[in-house]
Every structure is written in structure tokens, then in C-alpha cells.
Amino acid sequence: MAEADITKMKIEAKKAIDYLHAEFSKLQTGRANAALVTHLDVEAYGGKQQLQSLAGVTIEDARTIVVQPWDKGVLQDVEKALQKADLGTSPVNDGHVLRINLPPMTEDRRKTLVKRVKELAEEAKIAIRHSRHEAQENIREEPDEDDRERQLKLLQKEADDANAEIDAAGKAKEEEVMTV
């Protein structure tokens, strides 16, 4: 039973790390990245839909994102969603596509993003701590003391490995954000 708890903790840690990477990809780092906009919700066809289901998103150059709706009828809806997003600029509508020219990031914006990176990393670590705690509770019910100690050490090693991966990802993202 204890092995199942460790396996469950590993799965939860992987989910937390995958979520962290997905959130990191949404952060603007001064370079154009389709992930900055593909997750945006657009009011179209009487409901909310993600931008990626309504339009193609391409990168024209290091600072320009091009959004081309498949149906020209939703161009205005997509434009509104892009204006609501905090991208630091407004989209340029030429009647067929929307161009988003990302401005160079200021030092203050970079520092704000570094704080957000740290917050996201801490949230992932908290998720891992919760998962580890649940597994520890179940492992502590193990009657064999040697087996219980072995399982607890293995559980702690898995948690430490996951936290090290989060730290490495956070450090890499911080460096990416601070690179001018």
C-alpha cells in the first residue's frame, strides 16, 4: 500500500511541475511566444472559447505575434480578447489578421515577472508538500517499522527531486525574464 502512496505522490508532483511549465510559458519574456495568447478566452459564437480554437497564431519575428482567425466574423471578438489581455500593447487590425507588436520590457516589468515566477514555483512546491504529507500519513500506519522508515525515506527523496526540478525551472525562467 505504501508503494501506491509514493506512486500517487510522484504523479501529483509531475502534474504540479507540468502546470508550472505551462504557467511559465504564458509569461511574457520580451520575445514573441504563441503561448502568450493561445490560452485567452474569446467571447464568440455565443460562448467562451480559447483563442487557439478560433485562430492560427504565428510568430512573425522576435517581437511580433500574428493572429489569423479562421472565420473573419470573429475578428472583432478576438481583437477584444487581445485588448483585455495584459500584453503591454494593443493589437493592430488590418482587416484580415491581428498583429501584436510586443514592446521591449522595462526593468520594473522584469522584476514584477520575476516575483510572479517565484510565486508560481512556491505554489508548485506547496502542492508537492501537500501530496507528500498525505502519503506520509498513510505510510505511518504501516505496522513494520523498518518498512515504514524505508518508505518515508523514499517518499522524501521523491519530494526533494521534484523540488529540485522546480528550483531549476524557476531559476531558468528568472534568467530568461531578466535577459535583455
- What CATH number does the domain containing 173 carry? 1.10.132.20
The number of domains in the chain is: 2
Any residues with CB less than 8 A from the CB of 160 and at least 6 apart, and which?
none
Owning domain of residue 21: 2-26+106-178
pLDDT digits (tens, 9 = 90+) for 121-162: 999 999 999 999 999 998 888 888 888 899 999 999 999 999
Sign of CA dihedral 132, 169, 112, 42: negative
CB of 133 closer than 8 Å to CB of 124: no
What are the Cα distances from residue 13, in Å, to 63, 150, 154, 165?
34, 20, 14, 10
Q: Give pTM, 2 decimals.
A: 0.74
Compute the residue count for the chain.
180
According to the model, what pLDDT value does residue 17 have? 94
75 and 127, same domain (yes or no) = no
DSSP-based three-state secondary structure for 32 = coil
pLDDT digits (tens, 9 = 90+) for 7-44: 999 999 999 999 999 888 877 776 777 888 888 888 88
